[in-house]
């Protein structure tokens, strides 16, 4: 037998259930892509359902030096689960047999393949919430969210995935099983491996169980939309709301191009002659948010809002949010390829970032729309293109590079919530410097000396540059 | 010249200001201890005031293989800054020339030696707060708080030091200068070195600047004290308050022994026939906390409180909190040595922990009092002893070991906020297992191959055991 036949046979010893191992080309193809760019065929796919299985697979992978890629539901926008160097994909989507809520400890313990929205739904039955709400939460797995440290609109008030992780069970790249953190809110025993592994994009360990922090469900919510004839005024309104001591649960914005796209796709009655709209949701005590929403309205009017719409019922609130939800389907209507960026800047620099994005749109003659979580500086400049048009994609690649430059120059970051993966790896040194990347690499090397676990992510290969085609 | 003379001369080249280098025995003695146990003389003390100085010192230290220990104001309860292997202490307390508040970004940028309380005071002028409030905040430096990931009463609602760090400037153990994180709330660019360094007790890098997140100042506060004839009922009340969807800013408890000590020290009119009291501070919108404090009162009465005192004025609130503030001075009145532990358990296990502590007190015949941040499970069992009494201290050492065992068995942790340092190093494997400690050690070794930076902390030496005397 050759080496591949040998390790495949050993793999079948570890997973004694042939329905959980795939080696047919048609099956492998389903695991060759995610929601970003590029297709790469693995040699095998396994659906683990126990920590020991994962541990044994990693020991085997080290023995034969086979790359291993953990994968949830493949919703990554940065290439996290792509099997870029062949080898084994571990599909965790079927391992979802544990979802325990501990109301007394305001805590949940979950298996890696549980869908994020299911955790929130289970918490709600106990009067609690799991706050992180990436837009993929109905389809993405919790371990995928953990690996990427997913954000979402509620990040402004509640923080991101990392802020809700108390402890993990992790299989190391060499197959050891460790527990990090625990069931307590405070823990300073040694290095914070929990927060090191969350956001490490599956390169430092495989998450097989997570202990999550829950939060009491807010008593009430209030929603408001404000329209602005001027982009800078919208940015100033956001800043003034926060300066007034109000932290909304969500504070989203959409630019003129988004509004036009939505109105063309499914008319919501929004005026298309404004430059931007902001959408605000407050939550908390009913009296507190009643007072605060009036204050928000005043601030918006004082800062130059042309119109302010306050939802009077839950239906009206849902209607206002519908415009925001329609942005993604609306913008891909005239061209099939959406490049969704998440460059993030300090809040005070949002107007500057708008200006830079306007210049980039003009310079490279690209379809660029801007929406996102403006309250925390996490914008989503989206470029709409057609990946079959090579010339256009070259311009897009250059524009994306310049978006990253702008974010970093304004004191911001390449990625607020989507991760680095394969796509942004070439830009790491721009933000972190050679020494910063080097210190990260040392951790990776000390944990995974044979570079078995999710190779080709985060750290750029020599000469690697951004490629937004599937070739 | 011998090696020491050589590096001392080189040190004087790096710091061209003789008032910032100390080598006299009397001066060195001031840096030989902290607020924990043990005295160790360094060979030199330097007061750096620039990143480049720190960088050059680390390069020199690597060249001559001299241990280096960063130190703030020496308030560590776990031995963090102790120069256990001789070498150079870096005293950061004089480097406090930067304290900038950015209200638009709700952010502060600070030098390492700034006192933590000064940051909060500066933020207050802009209607903001820096929430972490370790009880040492008036005397401890921010870099010391960052190195130890300090907690405090407000941890329940607001989180701990780590939750307020956006970015750091760090000098690596080999003298490279890196920047981690940045000025944005969301950042997923590469591994989270910020949260790895915070809480690493000065073993992975030296913090020379920090970017901190601020929070709007709450509009109002409300305070309530509830007395309980039964410890388990007090624990149940804490749980029921949180289950009612109320997250107090502070939720502290004191047991009977604490109350008696305070009444003996400076009478506050507290009944000494109760088993426990809890002290609650709510903050937020005035109407919201008005409603909530009534609900808290109801919950306490329903759960068996014998008396509930609600502060009607700020003076009354201050008076209620005075009892809690007097605990530390009161309990050391009859014996000079206080061993302050911070073992932390899941909230639901607080009654079980009380029971275990009661058994330990009896078994080892020790003076043990319990108070602390009960809302987040972070109790402070304090043992009062006399360190000159060797026989008593042996019993205390055994009792402390058993407190750690109890915490870990109940799903908790050795340390919620004080750190591991020298004191708790022998217990690391009990909580983390050999593999967990090994993964931490790999990071340390990959960043600091010569073990120059703060050696002898966190990781146990072979055969190391708990010693609570100064010999």
> What is the rounded CA–CA span in Å between residue A77 and residue A342?
10
The answer, for B348 touching chain A at a CB cutoff of 8 Å, is yes
What distance in Å separates residue A127's CA from the closest CA in chain B? 8
Token reading at A43: 């040699």
Distances (CA, A) of A394 to A358, A365, A386, B384: 19, 12, 11, 71
Indicate which of B76, B176, B186, B341 best probes the interface with A, i.e. most A CBs within 10 Å of its own CB: B186
Angle, alpha carbons A85-A196-A341 (nearest 5°): 65
User: Residue B113: phi, psi to the nearest 5?
Assistant: -90, 5
> What is the rounded CA–CA span in Å between residue A305 and residue A280?
14
Closest residue in B to A446 (Cα) is B442
When CB atoms are compared, the residue of A184, A191, A347 closest to B196 is: A191
Enumerate the residues of chain A whose CB falls inside 8 A of the CB of residue B415.
187-189
Enumerate the residues of chain A whose CB falls inside 8 A of the CB of residue B151.
186, 188
Q: What is the pLDDT of residue B232?
A: 84
What distance in Å separates residue B24's CA from the closest CA in chain A? 34
Do domains A1-217+420-471 and A220-329 share one topology? The answer is: no
Token reading at A341: 């960026």
When CB atoms are compared, the residue of B178, B344, B435 closest to A186 is: B344
What b-and-e string marks burial along B229-240, b requiring 16 or more CB atoms within 10 Å of the CB? ebbbbbbbbbbb
Indicate which of B125, B191, B438 best probes the interface with A, i.e. most A CBs within 10 Å of its own CB: B191
Over the stretch B113-136, which tens digit does the pLDDT of each residue have? 999 999 999 999 999 999 999 989
Q: Are A233 and A304 in contact (CB under 8 A)?
A: yes
Inspect the interface and report whether the beta carbons of A183 and B411 lie closer than 8 Å: yes
Enumerate the residues of chain A whose CB falls inside 8 A of the CB of residue B219.
245
Question: Residue B283's beta-bridge partner residues?
Answer: B221
Residue window 188-217, chain A: list those with CB within 8 Å of chain B: 188-193, 195-196, 198-200, 204, 215-217
> What is the rounded CA–CA span in Å between residue A345 and residue A343?
7
Distances (CA, A) of A301 to A229, A234, A237, A275, A304: 12, 11, 9, 15, 5
Closest residue in A to B104 (Cα) is A348
Please name the residue ranges forming H helices in A112-192.
116-124, 142-148, 155-158
What distance in Å separates residue B75's CA from the closest CA in chain A? 16
User: Residue B392: phi, psi to the nearest 5?
Assistant: -60, -40
Q: What is the pLDDT of residue A164?
A: 97
Per-residue confidence band for B471, with pLDDT thresholds at 50, 70 and 90: low
Token reading at B396: 């205390």
Per-residue confidence band for A118, with pLDDT thresholds at 50, 70 and 90: very high
Over the stretch A12-62, which tens digit does the pLDDT of each residue have? 999 989 999 999 999 999 999 999 999 999 999 999 999 999 999 999 999
Enumerate the residues of chain B whose CB falls inside 8 A of the CB of residue A291.
285, 287
> What is the rounded CA–CA span in Å between residue A278 and residue A185?
34
Determine the angle formed by the axes of helices B286-302 and A286-302, rounding to 10 degrees: 170
Inspect the interface and report whether the beta carbons of B347 and A106 lie closer than 8 Å: yes
Inspect the interface and report whether the beta carbons of B345 and A217 lie closer than 8 Å: no
Token reading at B468: 């609570």
Q: What is the pLDDT of residue A462?
A: 86
Q: Are B406 and B356 in contact (CB under 8 A)?
A: yes
> What is the rounded CA–CA span in Å between residue B274 and residue B228?
6
> What is the rounded CA–CA span in Å between residue B27 and residue B36?
19
Q: How many CB atoms lie within 10 A of CB A257?
A: 18
Start-to-end Cα distance in chain B: 33
> What is the rounded CA–CA span in Å between residue A128 and residue A216?
4
Over the stretch A233-242, which tens digit does the pLDDT of each residue have? 998 899 899 9
Per-residue confidence band for B83, with pLDDT thresholds at 50, 70 and 90: very high
When CB atoms are compared, the residue of A243, A246, A443 closest to B103 is: A243
> What is the rounded CA–CA span in Å between residue B277 and residue A157?
32
Q: What is the pLDDT of residue B380?
A: 92
Give the 3-state secondary structure of residue A92. Answer: coil
Enumerate the residues of chain B whose CB falls inside 8 A of the CB of residue A161.
none
* For chain A, the helix, strand and coil percentages under 3-state DSSP, each to the nearest 5: 40, 20, 40
Residue A201's Cα: distance from chain center in Å? 11
> What is the rounded CA–CA span in Å between residue A441 and residue A145?
22
Token reading at A462: 């020599």
CATH class of B1-217+424-471: alpha beta
Question: Residue B453's beta-bridge partner residues?
Answer: B68
Over the stretch B234-254, which tens digit does the pLDDT of each residue have? 988 998 999 898 999 999 999
Give the 3-state secondary structure of residue B315. Answer: helix
Angle, alpha carbons A377-A385-A323 (nearest 5°): 50
What distance in Å separates residue A337's CA from the closest CA in chain B? 24
When CB atoms are compared, the residue of B185, B189, B348 closest to A414 is: B189
Enumerate the residues of chain A whose CB falls inside 8 A of the CB of residue B438.
176
> What is the rounded CA–CA span in Å between residue B267 and residue B276?
17
Tell which CATH architecture fits domain A335-409: 2-Layer Sandwich (3.30)
Q: What is the pLDDT of residue A470?
A: 65
Over the stretch B293-349, which tens digit does the pLDDT of each residue have? 999 999 999 999 999 999 999 999 999 999 999 998 999 887 899 999 999 999 889
Inspect the interface and report whether the beta carbons of B186 and A378 lie closer than 8 Å: yes
Q: What is the pLDDT of residue A381?
A: 94
Per-residue confidence band for A469, with pLDDT thresholds at 50, 70 and 90: confident
Q: What is the pLDDT of residue A334?
A: 79
Give the 3-state secondary structure of residue B289. Answer: helix
At a CB cut-off of 8 Å and minimum separation 6, what does A90 contact? A45, A46, A47, A48, A54, A57, A68, A69, A70, A71, A206
Inspect the interface and report whether the beta carbons of A247 and B416 lie closer than 8 Å: no
Please name the residue ranges forming H helices in A45-159.
51-64, 116-124, 142-148, 155-158
Enumerate the residues of chain B whose CB falls inside 8 A of the CB of residue A418.
188
The mean pLDDT of chain A is: 94
Give the length of chain B: 471
Q: Are strands B128-129 and B215-216 parallel, antiparallel or unpaired?
A: antiparallel
Q: What's the CATH code, domain B220-329? A: 3.30.70.2190
Enumerate the residues of chain A whose CB falls inside 8 A of the CB of residue B458.
190-191
Determine if residue A102 is left, alpha or beta; phi over 0 gives left, psi from -120 to 50 gives alpha, anything else beta: beta
Residue window 399-418, chain B: list those with CB within 8 Å of chain A: 411-418
Check residue B58 and report its DSSP letter.
H
Start-to-end Cα distance in chain A: 33
What distance in Å separates residue A266's CA from the closest CA in chain B? 32
Task: Using the Cα atoms of residue B343, residue B344, residue B345 and residue B347 in order, give the sign of their dihedral.
Answer: positive
> What is the rounded CA–CA span in Å between residue A112 and residue A95?
6
What distance in Å separates residue A46's CA from the closest CA in chain B? 25
DSSP A202-231: TSS-EEEEEEEE-EEPPSEEEEEEEEES-H
Q: How many CB atoms lie within 10 A of CB B222?
A: 23
The answer, for A79 touching chain B at a CB cutoff of 8 Å, is no
Q: How many CB atoms lie within 10 A of CB B436?
A: 23
B365 CB burial (10 A radius; 0-12, 13-18, 19+): exposed
Distances (CA, A) of A293 to A300, B263, B434: 10, 47, 53
Q: What is the pLDDT of residue A235?
A: 87
Domain boundaries in chain A? Answer: 1-217+420-471, 220-329, 335-409
Q: Is residue A471 predicted with pLDDT exceeding 80?
A: no
Residue window 130-189, chain A: list those with CB within 8 Å of chain B: 148-149, 151, 155-156, 159-160, 162-163, 172, 176-180, 182-189
Enumerate the residues of chain B whose CB falls inside 8 A of the CB of residue A192.
149, 162, 195-196, 198-200
The pLDDT of A268-293, averaged and rounded, is 94
Q: Which of A200, A112, A204, A116 is nearest to A152 (CA)?
A: A116
Closest residue in A to B345 (Cα) is A184
The count of CB pairs under 8 A between chains A and B is: 279
> What is the rounded CA–CA span in Å between residue A347 and residue B105?
6
Distances (CA, A) of A217 to A126, A151, A271, B78, B368: 9, 19, 34, 38, 38
Inspect the interface and report whether the beta carbons of A187 and B105 lie closer than 8 Å: no
Q: Are strands B88-91 and B44-46 parallel, antiparallel or unpaired?
A: parallel
Indicate which of A77, A78, A161, A189 best probes the interface with B, i.e. most B CBs within 10 Å of its own CB: A189
Report the share of chain B in percent with pLDDT over 90.
Answer: 87
Residue window 20-49, chain A: list those with CB within 8 Å of chain B: none
The answer, for B446 touching chain A at a CB cutoff of 8 Å, is yes
CA dihedral angle for residue A119, residue A123, residue A129, residue A135, rounded to 10 degrees: 20
Q: Is the ipTM value over 0.85, yes or no? A: yes
> What is the rounded CA–CA span in Å between residue A139 and residue A144?
11
Token reading at B259: 């109350």
Q: Is residue A199 predicted with pLDDT exceeding 70?
A: yes
Over the stretch A61-79, which tens digit does the pLDDT of each residue have? 999 999 999 999 999 999 9
Q: What's the CATH code, domain A1-217+420-471? A: 3.30.465.10
Over the stretch B34-71, which tens digit does the pLDDT of each residue have? 999 999 999 999 999 999 999 999 999 999 999 999 99
* For chain B, the helix, strand and coil percentages under 3-state DSSP, each to the nearest 5: 40, 20, 40
């Amino acid at each position: 037998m050759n080496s591949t036949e040998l390790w495949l046979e050993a793999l079948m010893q570890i997973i004694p259930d042939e329905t959980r191992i795939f080696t047919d080309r048609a099956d492998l193809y389903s695991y060759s892509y995610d929601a970003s760019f590029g297709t790469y065929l693995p040699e095998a796919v396994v659906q683990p359902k126990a920590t020991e299985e994962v541990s044994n697979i990693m020991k085997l992978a080290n023995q034969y030096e086979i790359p291993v890629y953990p994968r949830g539901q493949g919703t990554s926008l940065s290439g996290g689960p792509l099997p870029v160097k062949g080898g084994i994909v571990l599909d965790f989507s079927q391992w979802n047999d544990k979802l325990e809520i501990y109301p007394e400890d305001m805590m949940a313990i979950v298996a890696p393949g549980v869908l994020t929205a299911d955790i929130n739904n289970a918490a709600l039955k106990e009067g609690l919430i799991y706050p992180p709400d990436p837009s993929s939460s109905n389809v993405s797995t919790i371990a995928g969210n953990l690996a990427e440290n997913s954000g979402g609109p509620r990040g402004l008030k509640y923080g991101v995935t990392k802020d809700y992780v108390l402890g993990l069970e992790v299989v190391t790249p060499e197959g050891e099983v460790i527990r990090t953190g625990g069931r307590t809110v405070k823990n300073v025993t040694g290095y914070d491996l929990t927060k090191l592994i969350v956001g490490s994009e599956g390169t430092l360990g495989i998450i097989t169980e997570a202990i999550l922090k829950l939060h009491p469900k807010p008593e009430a919510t209030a929603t408001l939309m404000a329209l602005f004839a001027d982009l800078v005024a919208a940015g100033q309104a956001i800043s003034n709301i926060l300066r007034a001591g109000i932290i909304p649960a969500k504070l989203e914005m959409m630019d003129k191009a988004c509004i036009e796209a939505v109105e063309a796709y499914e008319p919501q009655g929004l005026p298309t002659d404004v430059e931007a709209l902001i959408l605000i949701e407050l939550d908390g005590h009913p009296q507190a948010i009643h007072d605060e929403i009036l204050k928000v309205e005043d601030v918006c009017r004082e800062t130059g809002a042309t119109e302010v719409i306050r939802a009077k019922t839950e239906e009206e609130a849902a209607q206002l949010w519908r415009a925001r939800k329609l942005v993604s389907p609306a913008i891909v209507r005239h061209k099939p390829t959406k490049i969704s960026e998440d460059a993030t800047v300090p809040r005070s620099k949002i107007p500057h970032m708008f200006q830079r994005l306007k210049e980039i749109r003009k310079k490279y003659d690209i379809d660029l729309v801007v929406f996102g979580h403006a309250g925390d500086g996490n914008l989503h400049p989206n470029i709409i293109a057609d990946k079959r048009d090579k010339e256009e994609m070259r311009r897009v690649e250059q524009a994306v590079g310049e978006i990253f430059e702008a974010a970093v120059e304004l004191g911001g970051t390449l990625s607020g919530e989507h991760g680095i993966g394969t796509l942004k790896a070439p830009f790491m040194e721009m933000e972190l410097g050679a020494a910063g990347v080097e210190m990260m690499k040392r951790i990776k090397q000390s944990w995974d000396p044979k570079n078995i676990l999710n190779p080709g992510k985060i750290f750029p290969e020599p000469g690697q540059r951004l490629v937004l085609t599937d070739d």
